[in-house]
Structure 1
Amino acid sequence: MDDVDRALEAALRELLARRAPSATVCPSEAARRVSGDPDDGDAWRPLMEPARAAARRLVAAGEVEITQRGRVVDPETAVGPIRVRRAGC
């Protein structure tokens, strides 16, 4: 795990902490936050898969769940858009 991976995990945690307990976030929100380049509207796109990987690590740690259409899904097999929420919500 490198600094970007740790920053993405931290960003997911921070985003969730600022929301209602049952609220979700998109991994793209963490990617945008970590990319830190407001002048490049697409700078965050290369961080999407690392952001999804960060979410999977947080699932493995028991901190979050990954959902699709409001249902918890297996993070290893989820394809398409996902959302992240605190575990147990």
Structure 2
Amino acid sequence: MIEPDLRRAILAQVDALRPDTTCCPSQIARNLAPDWRPLMAPLRAEALLLAAEGRIRVLQGGRDAGPAPRGPVRLARS
């Protein structure tokens, strides 16, 4: 899986969200591959790049997570 595929998958999942809802990055990874765990680090990195571009939001505890969050995050529409 290369970054453009991850980017498309993240954007598709976030675009499909109902307003004011979030998704877990692991759900995107699970949708992409049976062995999804190796996708988590690159998926998270790509999500942070998309957030920096203003295309999505990366949340932690319901607030914007910032550029280098530690721990679980959720993804939302920007």
TM-score, structure 1 normalization:
0.78
Give the equivalent residue in structure 2 for 1:33. 31
Give the CA deviation at 1:33.
Answer: 1.9
Give the CA deviation at 1:71.
Answer: 1.0
Displacement over 3 Å in runs of 4+ = none
Give the CA deviation at 1:63.
Answer: 0.4
Identity %, equivalent residues: 37
The structure that has the greater radius of gyration is 1
Q: Structure 2: which amino acid aligns with 1:58?
A: L
Superimposed CA distance per residue, residues 59-80 of structure 1 (whole angstroms, 9 cap, x where no aligned partner): 121101111111112132x100
Q: Is the 8 A contact 2:14 2:56 kept in 1?
A: no
Give the equivalent residue in structure 1 for 2:75. 84
Superimposed CA distance per residue, residues 32-83 of structure 1 (whole angstroms, 9 cap, x where no aligned partner): 1222x3xxxxx0001100110110110121101111111112132x100000
- For 1:52 and 1:67, the matched residues in 2 are separated by 12
Give the equivalent residue in structure 2 for 1:50. 42
Alignment RMSD: 1.3
Give the CA deviation at 1:4.
Answer: 2.1
| Structure 2 gap segments, 5+ residues each | none
Give the equivalent residue in structure 2 for 1:4. 2
2:5 corresponds to 1:13 = no
Q: Structure 1: which amino acid aligns with 2:32?
A: V
The count of residues paired between Structure 1 and Structure 2 equals 78
- Select the residue among 43, 55, 59 that pairs with 2:51: 59
| Structure 1 gap segments, 5+ residues each | 38-42
